[in-house]
């Protein structure tokens, strides 16, 4: 059953001092995630994947499109109407160094969402819930009395996970939760998230620029380029049969994390830079970097089409 369905989502930001110009951060993106599954959303930094996540959770208001979560279109709700729904949608942030309040104890950081959503009848009850949560993320009760700066990056991310999961949300948006961590710690955090998913039947939207991490954790993978979803498929199929030239380039260029061995292997860099999301190229947005570009590619944007069962791609090579 679909828990989240994003339909034609658009998020544009006006450019300061340039009337009429906008940053096309997210342009007509559609996908869904079934309950208990993970969709990995990947692409280079600046491709719009984090903006997409922040728009889904309504940190940003969408410019257009629908965000159907648990049967309700979040795009049309006010912030007041969203408040009770937020309990079921939590976010784990990229940087465990800046996302935790340094002036609060770890226990208070984790208890904060419980207070905001009026969960627990007393402080004692909330502290018990926090102690239980600390244990589940691999920390202990004593850690709750300390401050975030006393912990390593991996431990801080465990605190961030505890804060997000204490509300028992249905959907967790993981915004590059491991990219600021050492490789050996990355594998531990991924394993922790996977364990929680199996135990609590969580649904994840997992954002990363590292395709190898997404392969391990995702049921489906979407690849974004310059605000557009250019390929969407079951995870196994995408890695076996990447169709879009950008996906092929990403697979060839992203260093591979061996989740079991905790080591990284370097690969070749993809050539060219991401064009400006303000002055978009005409036609296919990948045209300037694509080794297979043909005349039509510069003339009109390729539509998303099903190239194989359940395997969608936006590229003229397949239409
Ligand atoms: Fe390359 Fe053309 Fe496909 Fe774009 S549409 S990825 S330019 S072949």
> Which pLDDT tens digits describe the chain residue by residue (319 residues)?
999 999 999 999 999 887 889 999 999 999 999 999 999 999 998 899 999 999 999 999 999 999 999 999 999 999 999 999 999 999 999 877 788 888 999 999 999 999 999 999 999 999 999 999 999 999 999 999 999 999 999 999 999 999 999 999 999 999 999 988 888 899 999 999 999 999 999 999 999 987 888 888 999 999 999 999 999 999 999 999 999 999 999 998 766 545 455 554 445 456 677 788 888 888 999 999 999 999 999 999 999 999 999 999 999 999 7
Ordered domains of the chain (ranges, CATH): 2-88+170-318 (3.40.50.300), 99-168 (no CATH)
CB of 287 closer than 6 angstroms to any ligand 1 atom? yes
Q: CB-based contacts of 18: which residues, under 8 Å, 6+ apart?
A: 278
Nearest-angstrom CA–CA distance, 288 and 133: 49
Tell me the CA distances in angstroms from 292 to 240, 295, 307, one per residue in order. Answer: 20, 10, 17
Pocket test for ligand 1, best of 291, 296, 302 (most atoms within 8 A of CB): 302
Q: How far apart are the first and last CA of the chain?
A: 30
> Cα of 71 to ligand 1 centre, how many Å?
36
- The closest-lying atom of ligand 1 relative to the alpha carbon of residue 302 is 5
Token pair of 130, please?
């926090």
Q: Which atom of ligand 1 is nearest to the CA of 284?
A: 4
Query: Structure pTM?
Result: 0.91
> Is 281 a pocket residue for ligand 1 (Cβ < 6 Å)?
no
Can you give the three-state secondary structure of 199-235, one letter per residue? HHCCEEEEEECCHHHHHHHCCEEEEEECCEEEEEEEH
């Amino acid at each position: 059953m679909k828990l989240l369905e994003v339909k034609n989502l658009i998020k544009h930001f006006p450019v300061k001092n340039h009337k009429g110009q906008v940053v096309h951060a997210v342009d007509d993106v559609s996908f869904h995630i079934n309950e208990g599954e993970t969709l990995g959303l990947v692409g280079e930094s600046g491709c719009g994947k984090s903006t997409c996540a922040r728009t889904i959770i309504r940190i940003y208001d969408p410019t257009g499109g629908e965000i159907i979560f648990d049967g309700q279109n979040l795009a049309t709700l006010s912030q007041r109407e969203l408040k009770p729904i937020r309990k079921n949608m939590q976010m784990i942030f990229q940087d465990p160094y800046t996302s935790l309040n340094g002036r609060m104890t770890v226990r208070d950081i984790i208890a904060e969402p419980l207070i905001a959503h009026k969960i627990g009848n007393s402080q004692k009850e909330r502290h018990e819930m926090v102690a239980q949560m600390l244990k589940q993320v691999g920390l202990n009760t004593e850690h709750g009395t300390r401050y975030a700066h006393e912990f390593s990056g991996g431990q801080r991310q465990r605190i961030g996970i505890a804060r997000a999961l204490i509300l028992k949300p249905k959907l967790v948006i993981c915004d590059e939760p491991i990219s600021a961590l050492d490789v050996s710690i990355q594998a531990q955090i991924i394993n922790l998230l996977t364990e929680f998913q199996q135990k609590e039947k969580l649904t994840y939207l997992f954002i990363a620029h590292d395709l190898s991490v997404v392969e391990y954790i995702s049921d489906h993978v979407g690849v974004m380029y310059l605000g557009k979803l250019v390929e969407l498929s079951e995870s196994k199929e995408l890695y076996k049969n990447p169709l879009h030239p950008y996906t092929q380039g990403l697979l060839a260029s992203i260093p591979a994390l061996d989740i079991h061995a905790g080591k990284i292997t370097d690969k070749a860099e993809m050539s060219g830079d991401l064009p400006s999301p303000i002055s978009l190229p005409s036609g296919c947005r990948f045209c300037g970097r694509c080794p297979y570009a043909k005349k039509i590619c510069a003339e009109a944007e390729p539509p998303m089409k099903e190239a194989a069962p359940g395997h969608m791609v936006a590229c003229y090579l397949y239409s």
